[in-house]
A = this chain, B = another copy of it.
């Protein structure tokens, strides 16, 4: 069952392989009748083009890379899922979607124009700056999603994390809270900083005191949310509300609260960030910030395809709206402080 080539078809049709190639590619040069004849022969032989050969001569790989900063700690499953779904919906059959974590590369050696027609980087950390620069330098069509980057100019689609964090912190203040803690995201991630900044901005704007002991580190996973909340609960002066830098940590944090016999939101209010699938179904349903990852991924894929087609890239930064989602994990308190 060795595979059939255009030369086999040519022989059967009594034409040259050139004619077959043209016919299958719908060249207007070919007589409609021979074209049909060739196509039907190809169909009956179950011909499939050899993509390696085509790639070689056309200088296209038919590969699109979807790169994450890491596929280990820091990338939540929901994030991965939404990104793949969004991109996949757009590219369909046209390209192979190759998924990889940047931190798995020892060297970027085989990231080049020959191997990838384009790249989508779901960037979470400054640590992949070098990768982005490398790819941009090689002039591979590229879009960078999720993390705003500086220095190198590329198409950059990002959620407005800072604004979202600002809104959710402000929401806590409006509900009467004045003792508001934060469990931060993974160090080095840009999103960690943006959410921290939004949080600070809201507190400062409303003259709410900011205490160092209410700022605890985390790394975006469940366990770190659990640990972070325990640290806060051990303080003499507890906060009345805690802003967790993502929903996973919020879930861990709530676990820590209930383990001590306390209740959310009655004894302590908790908010998250991301609006994961499960967040609406937790008890209590989590107040959080929706970050449109799937939408950004879709938009990024569309941009990339147009770059590849037009053989020309645009470079700009586009912010996507983040949205406060109010549910049941925040208590309204009377006095504040």
Q: Are A277 and B96 in contact (CB under 8 A)?
A: no
Q: Is A56 an interface residue (CB 8 A)?
A: yes
Q: Which residues of B contact A97 (CB under 8 A)?
A: 98-100
Chain A 41-54 near chain B by CB (<8 Å), digits 1 or 0: 00000001111110
User: How far is B101's CA from A93's CA once the two chains are assembled, in angstroms?
Assistant: 11
Q: Which residues of B contact A278 (CB under 8 A)?
A: 222, 248, 251, 278
Q: Are B3 and A113 in contact (CB under 8 A)?
A: yes
Q: Is A105 an interface residue (CB 8 A)?
A: yes
Stoichiometry (number of copies): 2
User: How far is B115's CA from A49's CA once the two chains are assembled, in angstroms?
Assistant: 10
User: How far is B272's CA from A106's CA once the two chains are assembled, in angstroms?
Assistant: 40
Q: Is A273 an interface residue (CB 8 A)?
A: no
User: How far is B49's CA from A278's CA once the two chains are assembled, in angstroms?
Assistant: 45
CB A63 to nearest CB in B, in angstroms, measures 7
Chain A 264-285 near chain B by CB (<8 Å), digits 1 or 0: 0000000000000110111101
B51, B81, B115, B222: the one within 8 Å of A114 (CB): B51
Q: Which residues between 219 and 237 of chain A lie within 8 Å of chain B, taking CB atoms?
A: 222, 226
Q: Is A129 an interface residue (CB 8 A)?
A: no
CB A285 to nearest CB in B, in angstroms, measures 8
Q: Are B226 and A255 in contact (CB under 8 A)?
A: no
Q: Are B110 and A84 in contact (CB under 8 A)?
A: no
CB A229 to nearest CB in B, in angstroms, measures 11
Given contacts A96-B98, A104-B92, whether A50 and B277 have CB atoms under 8 Å apart is no
Q: Which residues of B contact A99 (CB under 8 A)?
A: 84, 88, 97-99
Q: Are A88 and B113 in contact (CB under 8 A)?
A: no
Q: Which residues between 99 and 140 of chain A lie within 8 Å of chain B, taking CB atoms?
A: 99-101, 104-106, 109-110, 112-115, 138-139
CB A104 to nearest CB in B, in angstroms, measures 6
Given contacts A92-B104, A98-B98, A139-B1, whether A112 and B48 have CB atoms under 8 Å apart is yes
User: How far is B270's CA from A137's CA once the two chains are assembled, in angstroms?
Assistant: 55
B3, B100, B277, B281: the one within 8 Å of A77 (CB): B277
Q: Is A85 an interface residue (CB 8 A)?
A: yes
Q: Are A96 and B93 in contact (CB under 8 A)?
A: no
CB A300 to nearest CB in B, in angstroms, measures 16
User: How far is B115's CA from A30's CA once the two chains are assembled, in angstroms?
Assistant: 28
Q: Which residue of B lies closest to A285 (CB)?
A: B255
User: How far is B61's CA from A97's CA once the two chains are assembled, in angstroms?
Assistant: 14
B98, B113, B115, B258: the one within 8 Å of A283 (CB): B258
Q: Are A115 and B51 in contact (CB under 8 A)?
A: yes
Q: Which residue of B lies closest to A256 (CB)?
A: B281
Q: Which residue of B lies closest to A221 (CB)?
A: B277
Closest 4 CB pairs of A and B: A77-B81, A52-B55, A77-B77, A52-B56
Give the interface of A toward B (CB within 8 A).
Answer: 1, 3, 48-53, 55-56, 61, 63, 71-72, 77-78, 80-82, 84-85, 88, 92-93, 96-101, 104-106, 109-110, 112-115, 138-139, 222, 226, 248, 251-252, 254-255, 258, 277-278, 280-283, 285
